[in-house]
Amino acid sequence: MNITTLIRPNIQALVPYKSARSQYCGQSSILLDANENPFGDGHTNRYPDPYQSELRACVAQRAQCEPENVLLGNGSDELIDLLMRVFCVPNQDAIVICPPTFGMYHVAAQINAIETIKVPLTKDYQIDAQNVGKQSAKILFLPNPNAPTGNLFAPQDIETILESFSGIVVIDEAYIDFAQTPSWSQKIQQYPHLVVLQTFSKYWGLAGCRVGMMFANAQIINAVSKIKAPYNVNVLSAQKALQAMKNEPTIKANAQILIQERARVAQSLQEYAFIKNVSASQTNYLWVEAPKAQNIAKELKKQNIIIRTYTSDPNFMRISIGTPDQNTLLLDALKTISL
């Protein structure tokens, strides 16, 4: 597949902005090139490295790929938007999504005047792979594990799509480290049109820092790099992300607690009469079928507990897994509810 022909012609032709720090980002102590303020800690008074070299190297090493296959964004939300702006011509091109899915894809498409083609999941929340594969669109967005349903898609279905879909396949692995499955980032060499997104917001516990990761072949990484804001990941966030990666044993131990708690909460929820079903989850949240979801959320709110409901899926609610204490408070609060 030729990636170049998928890229918007104006982006192919674009000569990117050259920031001061993109022309020099070495160790000189006399930096008079970027109109920075020389007074300060020598760290936050300087612009960040536009190439994100240190964090990229660290992320690449963990994912067993090369830094040229990695790009960091201001959250994966930014990367989703950048992908649309690289590949989709406004008022002409389309993306494909498979509802129920992450709401951001459609919103970002609307902002960019891109059509959204919806190919709903099957009743058991799997992909209609034959149908998806034959859609004519520039990008397919697929969270895996899926948000908000929490399940993994059958790997054969993803393979089918990678073999048949004619555009870019974005696998959004925001929850991959809570799941028992390898990352598709290991397949970026095999599939030049595959893009994998991950984030520091969930497993790494840095939602407030806004750092997202993209894995793809160098051609795609270069095209997206061309259009990103030069300093899209700030100094403090990059530092926090690096710290977290050096501290992964702690992060991993916390994730293990969440995974154990996920099983406990899922099991306990089955016992409530007003809960119809709890989907098997490979994430840090549960997708719960409850015909009175809105009322349940309202009652919980009175007890200071906030869960997520959806106007598009009024019979469902999504509950994030909290600390063991928070989860126990949730289960206790549910006992007091009469609907």
State the residues that interact with ligand PLP by CB under 6 A: 75-77, 102, 143, 147, 172, 174, 199, 201-202, 207, 212
The span from the CA of 322 to the CA of 60, in Å, is: 30
Nearer to ligand PLP, 77 or 93 (CB): 77
Nearer to ligand PLP, 166 or 309 (CB): 309
Give the residue closest to ligand PLP by C-beta: 75
The angle formed by the CA atoms of residues 304, 308 and 312, to the nearest 5 degrees, is 145
What's the closest the beta carbon of residue 172 comes to ligand PLP, in angstroms?
A: 5
Nearer to ligand PLP, 100 or 143 (CB): 143
Give the helix/strand (H/E) hosting 120. Answer: none
What's the closest the beta carbon of residue 102 comes to ligand PLP, in angstroms?
A: 4
The span from the CA of 19 to the CA of 24, in Å, is: 9
Nearer to ligand PLP, 60 or 142 (CB): 142
Q: Exposed, middle or buried, 168 (CB in 10 Å: 0-12/13-18/19+)?
A: buried
Nearer to ligand PLP, 72 or 220 (CB): 72
What's the closest the beta carbon of residue 104 comes to ligand PLP, in angstroms?
A: 7
Distance of CA 135 to the CA centre of its chain: 23
What's the closest the beta carbon of residue 3 comes to ligand PLP, in angstroms?
A: 23
Largest CA distance in the chain: 69
What's the closest the beta carbon of residue 30 comes to ligand PLP, in angstroms?
A: 37
- CB-CB neighbours of 30 under 10 Å: 6
Nearer to ligand PLP, 77 or 177 (CB): 77
Nearer to ligand PLP, 198 or 327 (CB): 198
How far separated are the first and last CA of the chain, in Å rounded?
A: 55
Assess contact for 132 and 161: CB atoms under 8 A. Answer: yes
What's the closest the beta carbon of residue 105 comes to ligand PLP, in angstroms?
A: 9
With left for phi above 0 and alpha for psi between -120 and 50, is residue 94 left, alpha or beta?
A: beta
What's the closest the beta carbon of residue 145 comes to ligand PLP, in angstroms?
A: 9
The span from the CA of 254 to the CA of 248, in Å, is: 10
**What is the rounded radius of gyration, in angstroms, for the C-alpha atoms of the chain?**
22
